[in-house]
A and B are shown apart, each in its own frame.
Chain A
Amino acid sequence: MRTSGCPRVLVASLCLLLAFPLVTAGLPGQESSTATAAVFRRYADRVMKIEVIETGSAAKATIGSGFFVTPRGHIVTNYHVVSKLIHSPERYRAEAVEAGGATHPVTLLAADVVHDLAVLGTDLRPPAHFALRPVTVSQGDRLYALGHPRDLGLSIVEGTYNGHLRHTLYPKIHFTGSLNTGMSGGPTIDDVGRVIGVNVSTAGNQLSFLVPVDRVAALVERALAAGDTAIAPTLEEIGNQLRDYQDLYLRGMFAGETKMVELGPYRIVTEPAPFFRCWADATRREELPYETVEHRCSTDDYLFIAGDQTSGVIGLEHELISTRTLNAPQFFALYTNIFGRDNTPSGQEEHVTSWRCGTRNVRHEATPMRAVLCLRRYRKLGELYDGVLKVAVLGHDDSGLVSTLTLSGVTFETLDLLSRRYLEQVSWR
């Protein structure tokens, strides 16, 4: 399944649950049990539908779910459900909708773009709410996700807890159950109503992801601490969150002892941090007069900015090309073609500028290479950039290495630092 939130560089294609997707997927039949029915009866009134409405046309723009976390009517949902309130506050407003259809205005009190969470304030005084406490669960435990799939009414989905994801910068719970569009922001609980996490995204085929409850608790605490003086988070704050998060994780990359991989005559960095996942693939086909070996590393993370715009992807891609039959001009025609391929993340004009690229032939120690940096900036998120550094090692007539470092949603300082370190790491064996 591929919904509108997928960056093309992500092979694992973890996709956000957004409103009005183009892809339709049926809900697989759930094993019916009296326990599920009991959980639903008991906790259904703590879950609300969240609607973001375009003020001009009074039409629904986004639908998601949310749940009460305090007796004073605070609701937790996903950042991506209400992101329009931050990007265009003058054009959108949000409402919480009860099961009976009554609507209540909500205000945005706090947002955490990195963990995809938001806290909303309402005038409601709910009879019951979910408490946010650390919970210990074991792999295989039965969990129940609540939410409003595709605006079809409040639903309950059974599934199992399968631990935390390992290859992510920030924690995510692997939930085996079918989360669907519209359930974003709803709670996933155990049979006694303890919140395990917040529904956030799916990769299809019952492979779904939750934001762990401790992150939720931290954000709610922050919102409550601000009390009545809380003001809606701005784009600048969102930009700062992205920046702090990137800096925290990326500053140490490629420094000191770095893990290296040997590809043909070249030595190059791999697996720059434990949260990267790497895999390799070789192409040797009879009809092609050349061979390629690919080696890629990427985080499973991406951050939702708004609409189709995502950020936060960090990836490495190496491609070794070698030939025994092509002559030098032919091989370099091939090399030029592969080097010129576009593997940059996609972007929308509303959120990012066009790319600007610079090229130099660079020598570091004994290794000559052609280096290209393409850069673009986020328009409304303060000083954040996307950078793609591409390197082609020169000097051989029958083999070449094209290496790409993709840094998305980072400060220029981080980008500059990591690009320099990266260039220093490319070398002959």
Chain B
Amino acid sequence: MILEVLHPDGARTRHRLDVLPLTVGRGLGNGLVLDDPYVDARHARIVFDEAGAPRVEDLGSVNGLVEDGARHAGAIAVTPGAEVRIGRTTLRFRDSDEPVPPALVDHNAVPPPRRADLHPAGARVAAGARGRRPRAVEVLSRLVATTPGRLVIAAAAVGAFAVHSWLGSYERSSASGMFASALVVAIGVAIWAGIWSVASRASVQRFNFVGHVGVASAVVLAGLGWSVLDEWSSFIAPDAGIWSVLWVVVGFALAAALIAGHLALASTMTRRRQWRAAAIVAASLWAVGMLAELAEDDEFSDVPTFSGVVKPVGASWLPMATIDDFGEVMLELKESVDGLAEK
């Protein structure tokens, strides 16, 4: 039998249950040491019963043994598939013969080393080549996983806002606006990450502040990128319906990514549950937003909204309409306001 330990921080370790009894607890003298503040120094013991089947015994711990959400006094007999919670750690028992799906074929696999690679210098080259190989996504996920990487993303977000503000300013004092914009982003991200850090401390005993800063910065950066892209698209193809659809999709994706990213650091949920929670929150946010927009759409206003974005791009690059095409637009508008007048 295999003992799978799900630690409160999401980590997972596995132990072969060959030699029993095995003591479990926070004390370093135990056979299995758990860094869980809700676990006693000597919390439980796993032993074989008379029939040779394993069982978990409580050693008089504060929080006891929990199975299926109910606390058990004394001992619990375990079979493969059983889960026993002690403190905030889950002990899952599995059969060592449990079947697993076949391995996936890795299309990016490194080809088998050639003879020359066996030379020490060649080996270093190969290692270097292997380091460069991962796709952009992998690089990014690796970047997000390290403290320097997260700080780089945060700096990139602040820098991007500063540059964006500078390019969008047309006053003499553009430097102060640039500084102010960078500061607002930095403070905003810090406050947001701070709130999540406190939540993390409460649920997984770690602040993970830099991690949360990294997640928030990455999403803020992506949001800025999207808004720039959106401006350009509305310049190049004005009034194209596809952009409003994309707005919904991208906005939803960004909100979900933000929440899932934070949950990954602040909870012991599985990946799937993180995304599910994030999707639910994002969907409800968007539902509220869409309802508000719909309500606004119906409201009377004597101030028009139109896409008045102009961009510095050679006119020869742009798809251009003729005056007759514009006439069609006028006709569509007429039908639209005729509809409004009839209401």
Chain A residues at the B interface, C-beta cutoff of 8 Å: 287-290, 323, 326-337, 339-340, 342, 344-349, 352-364, 368, 370-379, 385, 388, 390, 392, 394-395, 397, 400, 412, 415-416, 419-420, 423-424
Bound-state Cα–Cα, A356 to B338, Å:
10
Task: Scan residues 246-260 of chain B and give those whose CB is less than 8 A from a CB of chain A.
Answer: none
At the interface with chain A, which of B91-99, B202-210, B320-328?
Answer: B320-328
- Closest Cβ of chain A to B342, distance in Å, is 9
Give every chain A residue within 8 A of B235 (Cβ-Cβ).
Answer: 361, 370
Which one of B172, B239, B312, B330 lies within 8 Å of A375 (CB-CB)? B330
B291 proximal to A (CB < 8 A):
no
| Cβ contacts A to B, 22 pairs, < 8 Å | A329-B168, A332-B310, A336-B309, A342-B303, A344-B303, A345-B302, A355-B305, A359-B238, A360-B238, A360-B325, A360-B329, A361-B235, A363-B322, A372-B307, A372-B308, A373-B330, A375-B330, A375-B333, A394-B310, A395-B314, A412-B334, A420-B326
Question: Count the B residues whose beta carbon is within 8 Å of the partner chain — how many?
Answer: 48
B301 proximal to A (CB < 8 A):
yes
B318 proximal to A (CB < 8 A):
yes
Bound-state Cα–Cα, A344 to B320, Å:
26
Bound-state Cα–Cα, A362 to B239, Å:
14
Contact in complex: B172, A377 (CB < 8 Å) = no
B81 proximal to A (CB < 8 A):
no
Give every chain A residue within 8 A of B238 (Cβ-Cβ).
Answer: 359-361, 370
B107 proximal to A (CB < 8 A):
no
- Closest Cβ of chain A to B35, distance in Å, is 52
- Closest Cβ of chain A to B322, distance in Å, is 7
Nearest B-chain residue to A422, judged by Cβ? B323
- Closest Cβ of chain A to B115, distance in Å, is 55
Most chain A CB inside 10 Å of its own CB: which residue of B166, B312, B318? B312
Which one of A288, A331, A373, A392 lies within 8 Å of B329 (CB-CB)? A373
14 new A-B contacts at CB < 8 Å, known A356-B337, A392-B310 = A328-B312, A334-B170, A336-B308, A336-B309, A339-B308, A348-B302, A359-B239, A359-B329, A360-B239, A368-B315, A373-B333, A375-B333, A390-B306, A412-B334
- Closest Cβ of chain B to A410, distance in Å, is 12
Which one of A290, A371, A377 lies within 8 Å of B170 (CB-CB)? A290
Give every chain B residue within 8 A of A354 (Cβ-Cβ).
Answer: 299-302, 340
Give every chain A residue within 8 A of B306 (Cβ-Cβ).
Answer: 340, 357-359, 372, 374, 390
Give every chain B residue within 8 A of A287 (Cβ-Cβ).
Answer: 172
Give every chain A residue within 8 A of B341 (Cβ-Cβ).
Answer: 353, 377-379
Q: A290-B170, A330-B168, A412-B334 are in contact. Are A388 and B320 (CB under 8 A)?
A: no
Bound-state Cα–Cα, A254 to B127, Å:
74
Contact in complex: A423, B340 (CB < 8 Å) = no
Contact in complex: B304, A388 (CB < 8 Å) = yes
Contact in complex: A359, B334 (CB < 8 Å) = no
Report the 10 A-B pairs with minimum CB-CB distance, sorted nearest first.
A355-B304, A368-B315, A357-B306, A340-B308, A359-B238, A328-B312, A334-B170, A347-B302, A353-B340, A358-B329
Contact in complex: B170, A361 (CB < 8 Å) = no
Nearest B-chain residue to A419, judged by Cβ? B330
Give every chain A residue within 8 A of B312 (Cβ-Cβ).
Answer: 328-329, 331-332, 397
Contact in complex: B310, A362 (CB < 8 Å) = no
Q: A346-B302, A353-B337 are in contact. Are A415 and B319 (CB under 8 A)?
A: no
Most chain B CB inside 10 Å of its own CB: which residue of A326, A336, A395? A336
Bound-state Cα–Cα, A423 to B324, Å:
11
Q: A332-B312, A373-B333, A385-B337 are in contact. Are A362 and B170 (CB under 8 A)?
A: no
Give every chain A residue within 8 A of B307 (Cβ-Cβ).
Answer: 359, 372
B167 proximal to A (CB < 8 A):
yes
Give every chain A residue within 8 A of B170 (Cβ-Cβ).
Answer: 289-290, 323, 326, 330-331, 333-334, 337
B311 proximal to A (CB < 8 A):
yes
- Closest Cβ of chain B to A266, distance in Å, is 14
Contact in complex: A362, B326 (CB < 8 Å) = yes
Bound-state Cα–Cα, A339 to B306, Å:
10
Nearest B-chain residue to A378, judged by Cβ? B341
Which one of A327, A330, A364, A415 lies within 8 Å of B323 (CB-CB)? A364
B106 proximal to A (CB < 8 A):
no
- Closest Cβ of chain A to B279, distance in Å, is 34
Bound-state Cα–Cα, A387 to B303, Å:
13
- Closest Cβ of chain B to A241, distance in Å, is 19
Q: A356-B337, A400-B310 are in contact. Are A362 and B325 (CB under 8 A)?
A: yes
Which one of B236, B315, B340 lies within 8 Å of A356 (CB-CB)? B340
Q: A354-B301, A416-B330 are in contact. Are A360 and B338 (CB under 8 A)?
A: no
